[in-house]
Amino acid sequence: MSYTSAENDIAWRHWRCEWSLSPDVAYLNHGSFGPAPKEVQRVRQDWTDRLQVEPFDFYVRQLEAELSHAAECLGEFIGTSADNLAFIDNATFGMNIVASSLDLQPGDEVLTTNHAYGAVLRIWREICRRTGARLVVQRMPEPLNDAQELIDTLFSGVTEKTRLLVVDHISSPTAVIFPIVDICRRARRQDIPVCVDGPHALAVKPLSLDALDCDFYLASAHKWLSAPFGSGFLYAHPRVQQTLRPVVVSWGGSLAGAESRWQDEFHWSGTRDAAASLTIPSAIDFLCRAGILNFRRRSHDLAQYARFRIGDVTGLQPEIPDSPGWYGSMIALPLPPGDEPPLKKGVRDPLQSQLWKQFRIEVPVIHWHGRRFIRVSCHLYTSAREIDRLAEALRELL
């Protein structure tokens, strides 16, 4: 097994200059908020400038065609047609659209896993509370080293009342890649609609949404694709497009007088700047110029290096195999338990604050099922030296 090393950084260090990240900060938290390269930021600004030149012309005569072009580029990147994509602000927005469109009845069930993102669990708890439905949170096996066992455990939560399966492509607290191809295939066989929560997978994993055949897939392009903040999208399979209802009701039709499409409800939710969505093609171009496979290989090598270096400090190993099938550009590494009681919402673990204040390292410490993890995200601008810096800081603090 070959771990990356600081010497390897030399070949990659020019990438750092493409971002405007603070030079003194080791930014290992792309998974929470992924900064856009300078070039992508400039393109975003160009779109806003273009809007300012003649807002009526831009909104009414140009915007729909420009959004269609952006959807074609995105569709090509993720293996689907532009007709199946709507631009929204972020993945949270998309999950809310799916939740409020589902028409749940008392006694219905929505099935998800205990790896789901906290805000996603909250969306579904809230909609179930309002409708009298039930959220079933299936606990996944521990350790996770057998995809079939994971799938069987998930589907053992299915009943005749299951109306939707909500599953991560890559989970947030644990950074695990879920076997969504097999999950979607089995769900189709059992006639259960699937909504895939995909913000951490866009760019990190190859996507072919038409082949995946899920019902909904939503993501935030402002994570790993490094598009500007506010560039989410919702994919809806043609069989479910007409079931979708807006969470923000506006005109619900084309401003340019074009034939109505399901996306109209979402593309115009009142006057707003669409620059972030329109910049998605430039973010794709940027990553493709770097080489998408280079990005995946390098960022996974760095995540693997973090696994090795931090595991050496803590003596603890993650509960997933050391394989690109189980983790990609981000890895959640177990930490010894802290002294503090479970944290209140919005309160950071003291270790996270110390890493930031004393060492200028931005990395999340995550509490999940009574355990603590440090979640290390690696992108083209990340260096092995920064991971060494984190390992040394942890040795001092733990």
Ligand X SMILES: Cc1ncc(COP(=O)(O)O)c(C=O)c1O
Q: Which alpha helices (H) appear in the chain, and where do they start and end?
A: 9-12, 38-53, 55-56, 63-78, 91-101, 118-131, 147-155, 180-189, 209-212, 264-267, 275-278, 280-290, 292-314, 350-359, 384-397
Could you tell me if 20 and 35 are in contact, meaning their C-beta atoms sit under 8 angstroms apart? yes
Binding part of the chain for ligand X, among 138-146, 183-191, 196-204, 340-348 by CB under 6 A, reads 196-204
Strand partners, 87: 233
Nearest approach in angstroms of CB 139 to ligand X is: 17
The nearer residue to ligand X, 279 or 383, going by C-beta atoms, is 279
In the list 35, 37, 179, 199, the residue contacting ligand X (rule: CB under 6 A) is 199
Q: Applying CB under 6 A, does 197 fall inside the site for ligand X?
A: yes
Binding mask 155-184 for ligand X (x = CB under 6 A): -------------x---x------------
Nearest approach in angstroms of CB 202 to ligand X is: 11
Q: Applying CB under 6 A, does 226 fall inside the site for ligand X?
A: no
Could you tell me if 231 and 222 are in contact, meaning their C-beta atoms sit under 8 angstroms apart? yes
Q: Applying CB under 6 A, does 92 fall inside the site for ligand X?
A: yes
Nearest approach in angstroms of CB 368 to ligand X is: 13
Q: Applying CB under 6 A, does 220 fall inside the site for ligand X?
A: yes
Nearest approach in angstroms of CB 189 to ligand X is: 25
Nearest approach in angstroms of CB 228 to ligand X is: 12
Could you tell me if 282 and 43 are in contact, meaning their C-beta atoms sit under 8 angstroms apart? yes
In the list 8, 90, 162, 277, the residue contacting ligand X (rule: CB under 6 A) is 90
Could you tell me if 338 and 181 are in contact, meaning their C-beta atoms sit under 8 angstroms apart? no
What is the four-CA torsion angle of 84, 89, 91, 94, rounded to 10 degrees? -50
Binding part of the chain for ligand X, among 77-85, 87-95, 326-334, 373-381 by CB under 6 A, reads 87-95
> Computed from CA positions of residues 349, 353, 358, 361, in that sequence, does the dihedral angle turn out positive or negative?
positive
Q: Applying CB under 6 A, does 4 fall inside the site for ligand X?
A: no
Q: Applying CB under 6 A, does 120 fall inside the site for ligand X?
A: yes
In the list 86, 91, 98, 176, the residue contacting ligand X (rule: CB under 6 A) is 91
Q: Report the phi/psi class of residue 203: left, alpha or beta, with left for phi > 0 and alpha for psi in -120 to 50.
A: left
Q: Hey, which residues between 19 and 38 contact ligand X (CB under 6 A)?
A: 32
Q: How many CB atoms lie within 10 A of CB 358?
A: 11
Strand partners, 134: 109
Residue 335: which H helix or E strand, with range?
strand 330-335
Residues of this chain that interact with ligand X (CB under 6 A) are 32, 90-92, 117, 120, 168, 172, 197, 199-200, 220
